[in-house]
Amino acid sequence: MMIKVIILGGGNVAMHLAHVFIKAHEIKLVQVFNRTLTSIENLKEHTAITDNLKKIKKADIYIISVSDSAIKLVASKLKINNALVVHTSGSSSIAVLKDHKRSGVFYPLQTFSKNRKIDFSNIPLCIEATHSKDLLLLQQLAMKISKTYYHIDSEQRKKLHTAAVFVNNFVNHLYYLGGEICTKYNIESDILRPLIKETADKALDISPLDAQTGPARRGDTITFKKHLTNLTPDQQEIYKLLSHSISKTYGKKL
């Protein structure tokens, strides 16, 4: 079954979806819309592009992949009949698409960067729809580009998005802070790379609870206090907060 899709947006998620749809079997990327054509010009050899919502073509699924604050506006200006309209946001409810009788969510749980290639087959796709037949349609779309999909409603997705911030955004910021400490003391930050990789691999292999090590896990107050002397006030606040959370998890005291 060929599924005809139109993407509205030119950001990281939209562009990654566009490229995977172009390569996928039984998916026809009919068109991509964006307010500025320069962001999507590299797609014009593969599909139609436009910056005019009045020139949107016909498709089975319209995927709105814009910032959360813009979803409702784009949806309200999208004038189509009897087609499924979905967004790709992790934190926005399906209700933001209430202007359309057939609505849904097609949320890829992954971090996307513009020039970094990702194997979409390993990305979990979280789908939701107001009608059962549309949920089946999104399920079919998901199966054409990924090995994994989940039926996740809007309330669950909000919680999932929060969890994703912890394991992605916060962890990445800690990588940055660790690198800053190294730089401050004239240490090449690349020395941390093998440790970063092993930490991630180990957490996946034996669970984060069992993989935890370090002074807070041991209740090592002496090392805890020594580390604080190497940090700026802001870094000390983060270090204390995380250390006390770790020590509490394992019934230790600092």
What's residue 197's pLDDT? 97
Rounded distance between C-alpha atoms, residue 146 and residue 70, angstroms: 27
User: For the chain, which residues score pLDDT lower than 50?
Assistant: none
What's residue 114's pLDDT? 83
Q: What is the DSSP string of 34-93?
A: -SSGGGTGGGTTTSEEES-GGG----SEEEE-S-HHHHHHHHHH---SS-EEEE--SSS-
What's residue 1's pLDDT? 84
What's residue 110's pLDDT? 97
Domain 3-152: which CATH number of 3.30.450.40, 3.40.630.30, 1.10.3720.10, 3.40.50.720: 3.40.50.720
Domain with CATH 3.40.50.720 in the chain: 3-152
Assigned CATH topology for domain 157-249: N-(1-d-carboxylethyl)-l-norvaline Dehydrogenase; domain 2 (1.10.1040)
What's residue 4's pLDDT? 98
**The dihedral formed by the CA atoms of 132, 136, 139 and 144, expressed in degrees to the nearest 10:** -160
The one-letter amino acid at 90: G
What's residue 81's pLDDT? 86
Domain with CATH 1.10.1040.20 in the chain: 157-249
What's residue 252's pLDDT? 93
E strands within the chain? 3-8, 27-33, 48-50, 61-64, 84-87, 103-108, 125-129, 149-151
Rounded distance between C-alpha atoms, residue 36 and residue 45, angstroms: 17
Strand partners, 61: 5, 84
Rounded distance between C-alpha atoms, residue 184 and residue 151, angstroms: 46
**pTM of the complete model:** 0.92
- Residues near 254 by beta carbon (within 8 Å), at least 6 away in sequence: 216, 219, 221, 224, 243, 244, 247
CA atoms within 13 A on the CB side of 32: 29
